[in-house]
A and B are shown apart, each in its own frame.
Chain A
Amino acid sequence: MSSNILVFAERRDGEIRRPALEAVSTAYRLAQTTGGKVDVVALGPGASGCAEALAAHGASRLFVVEAEHAELYAPQLYAACVAEAAKLSDAAALLVPGTAMGRDLAPRATARLGTACATDLVEIEISEGGALKGKRPVYAGQAYARVSIPDARPAVASLRPNVFPAVEVDAPATVEVVALDAPIAAADLGVRTVSVEKPDQQELDVAEAPVIVAGGRGLKEAKNFSLIRDLAQVLGGAVGASRAVVDSDWIAHANQVGQTGKVVSPNLYIACGISGAVQHLAGMSSSKVIVAINKDPDAPIFSVADYGIVGDLFEILPAFTEAVRTLKAG
């Protein structure tokens, strides 16, 4: 019976992304149960250079496709490479980081393999009988579904970033690097990424940030988001927003938390001037610690918060930003 766990290691600018390391660590834990090894597949020129970082997190073998046309995301090529690696690995499970790329790639690879995929898991186990079992948020986080892939191999799962720890192992193995040819030639690609545009001012993405400071209608107007940005910067966090202010064009949809936006689970979520509509609460209530600052003591946001301040955010936010700055400096 197959017992290896394969991980797709997403790279950006040559480096393995953190959610991929989280997946490798998770695979290492699961492989203790299955008695198998952790195989990894990484794509693009220079992918074999990631062997050491992957070994440090528990990988034993690394499949690479270093063709030029594998550098940027090409859905068909990436799915074909991952499916090929899954066959060579004889993998029982394929883990993919639940990033923009991973969430898009996992189902395509699954269809190619003819198996099944569990999206955005926050818990994952492999049972004694070999079934992949997991827990995932549904209805934008209003509920969790317990899902199982009893028979299909490899069972595919994407893992929610920031939930599973990335841990270095005590005695890293020497990684065996296996180079593969690109299964699809550049000329035969039906679609490919031609460029990745990055804003001058890089902001952390809410989907991956350990801290989120979010603003809502209580900010009164778009320019007051500067109060949110100031605090987010001091905390090293990302800027989030309620649907109401995104719909009013105060801030981009990429910042929206909740149903029709992003479902997040940072260590710390600070909701400022957000009353807490059902669809917003669903998207953030799995955060580890929640702080609410709102002038309305009856706002639903307080029902999910761990700490609350009832008051004027225009007074409290600058004072809090200053207090955190002082604390961090001390």
Chain B
Amino acid sequence: MKFVVAIKHVPDTETKIKIAADGKSIEEAGVKWVVSTFDEFALQEAINLRNAGEGEVVAVGAGREASQKSLRQALAVGADRALLINDERYERCDALQRATALAAAVRAEEADLVFLGKYGVGTDEWQTGPMLAELLGWPHVGAITKLELDGDKFTARRDVEGGVEVLEGNLPAVLTCEKGLNEPAYASLKGIMAAKKKPLDIKTPAELGIDVTDLDSPKLIWEGLEVPPARTGAKLIDGEAHEAAATLARLLREEAKVI
């Protein structure tokens, strides 16, 4: 079984975002770049399945050369090989362009199952996985919390408002992963050493047959970033517990009009 895992190289979730001088990207100084949180669950699921049976886990990224770092991390955690589709413009592309690049890699690898995070941390778009599946003509399930494989059939569960959807489908398929699907392992020292010797291919989009004519002109444009309006600070309510609680309830009704 061939597993492809899409790995996105993103700012750490603990990063306090500052807007750069261009008004539409983030200030990169001091930002730690890591494997997108939800991709860790995607990677671990593929590794667990490979370890339980047999096969190969290939980590694939699209972006600038620096994103090799997250692919190397995926190798250290347990992926067998990695592929970077190297074009700096993938840092500013829209989700359909990213999905198009990944689709080419998935075809080249002849994958049976593709895992992604439910969204890429930062842009928070929730788009690449379902788009990739549509481009491939494959089924997908988004934000899965549980997966069972039985031959070329699978059962996946996903949380929806007030319940859990249970879906059944056939391979090949694309699955995007939610927190809680598994427990992502840390890279061991041995894993980190081994990762240095594992193959990490860097290819241009052209080498994979990807049309990049429109890569400079995404259909979805980020025009600017802005910080949320600052709040003026809390009105602090004093007094002993009962008194303060009663005052708060009154203010929420009469002043804020929310209860």
Residues of chain B within 8 A of A73, CB atoms compared:
165, 167
Query: How long is the Cα–Cα vector from A75 to B173 in the complex, in angstroms?
Result: 12
CB <8 Å contact, A100 and B161: yes
Evaluate contact between A76 and B139: CB separation under 8 angstroms. yes
Residue of A nearest to B163 (CB): A198
Q: Which of B94, B123, B125, B161 has the most CB of A within 10 A?
A: B161
Choose the segment among B45-53, B55-63, B188-196, B223-231 that binds chain A (4+ C-beta atoms closer than 8 Å): B223-231
For the complex, count residues of B whose C-beta is within 8 A of A.
84
B163→A197 contact, CB < 8 A? yes
CA distance A118 to B196 in the complex (A): 39
Say whether, besides A108-B134, A110-B131, A308-B235, A101 and B163 are in contact (CB < 8 Å): no
CB of A260 within 8 A of CB of B96, answer: no
Q: CB-nearest residue of chain B relative to A204?
A: B162
Which one of A58-66, A169-177, A288-296 is at the B interface? Answer: A288-296
Tell whether, in the assembled complex, residue B258 and residue A288 are in contact, meaning their CB atoms are under 8 Å apart.
yes
In the bound complex, residues from chain A placing their C-beta under 8 Å from that of B15 are 139, 278
Contact of A110 among B96, B124, B168, B222 (CB under 8 A): B96
Is A16 interfacial (CB 8 A cutoff)? no
The answer to whether B159 and A108 have CB atoms under 8 Å apart is no
**Chain A residues, CB < 8 A from B94:** 116
Q: Is A119 an interface residue (CB 8 A)?
A: yes
Interface: B218 (CB within 8 A): yes
Bound-state Cα–Cα, A141 to B124, Å: 9
Chain B, residue nearest A144 (CB): B226
| B131:A108 contact, CB within 8 angstroms | yes
| Smallest Cβ-Cβ distance to B133: which chain A residue | A108
**Complex interface residues of chain A between 200 and 253 (CB less than 8 A to chain B):** 202-205, 207-208, 211, 235, 253
Binary flags per residue of B122-160, CB closer than 8 Å to A gives 1, else 0: 111111111111110011111100000000000000111
* Distance from B258 Cβ to chain A, minimum over Cβ atoms (Å): 4
User: Would B163 and A146 count as touching, CB distance under 8 A?
Assistant: no
The answer to whether A324 touches B220 (Cβ under 8 A) is no
Assembled-state Cα–Cα distance A323/B256 (Å): 16
Q: How far is the CB of A207 from chain B (nearest CB, A)?
A: 7
Nearest-CB residue, chain B, relative to A256? B179
Q: Which residue of B lies closest to A268 (CB)?
A: B258
Binary flags per residue of A137-151, CB closer than 8 Å to B gives 1, else 0: 111111111111111
B241 touches A319 (CB 8 A): yes
Interface bits A111-126 vs B (CB < 8 Å: 1, else 0): 1101111111000000
- Given A267-B258, A309-B248, A320-B245, A254 contacting B159 (CB threshold 8 A): yes
Interface contact B161-A107, CB-CB below 8 Å: no
B95 at the interface (CB under 8 A from A): yes
Residues of B within 8 A of A145 (CB): 24, 222-225
For the complex, is B17 an interface residue (Cβ under 8 Å from A)? Answer: yes
Q: Which of A106, A189, A327 contacts B253 (CB 8 A)?
A: A327
Contacts of B161 in A (CB 8 A): 99-100, 205, 207-208
Q: Which segment of A24-32, A37-45, A48-56, A299-307 sits at the interface?
A: A299-307
Q: Could you tell me the distance between the alpha carbons of A259 and B245 in the complex, rounded to whole angstroms?
A: 30
* A89 on interface, CB distance cutoff 8 Å: no
Is B204 positioned at the interface, with any CB of A under 8 Å from its CB? Answer: no
**CA–CA, A72 to B38, complex, Å?**
26
Q: In the complex the two chains form, is B225's CB within 8 Å of A149's CB?
A: no
The reply to whether B237 and A253 contact each other, CB–CB distance below 8 Å, is no
The 8 sampled A-B contact pairs (Cβ below 8 Å) are: A107-B125, A117-B127, A142-B16, A204-B162, A253-B179, A306-B234, A307-B234, A309-B245
A interface list, Cβ under 8 A from B: 72-73, 75-76, 79, 99-101, 103-108, 110-112, 114-120, 133, 137-152, 189-199, 202-205, 207-208, 211, 235, 253-254, 256, 259-261, 263, 267-268, 278-279, 285-286, 288-292, 302-312, 315-316, 319-320, 322-324, 326-328
B residues near A (Cβ < 8 Å) are 11, 13-17, 19, 24, 26, 37-38, 94-96, 99, 121-135, 138-143, 158-170, 173, 178-180, 218-228, 231, 233-237, 241-242, 244-246, 248-253, 256, 258-259
Known: A108-B134, A292-B234, A319-B241. 11 other contacts (CB 8 A): A75-B133, A100-B160, A101-B160, A146-B224, A146-B226, A147-B220, A148-B220, A150-B221, A196-B166, A205-B162, A261-B179
Which 3 A-B residue pairs are closest in the complex by CB-CB distance?
A191-B169, A190-B139, A191-B139
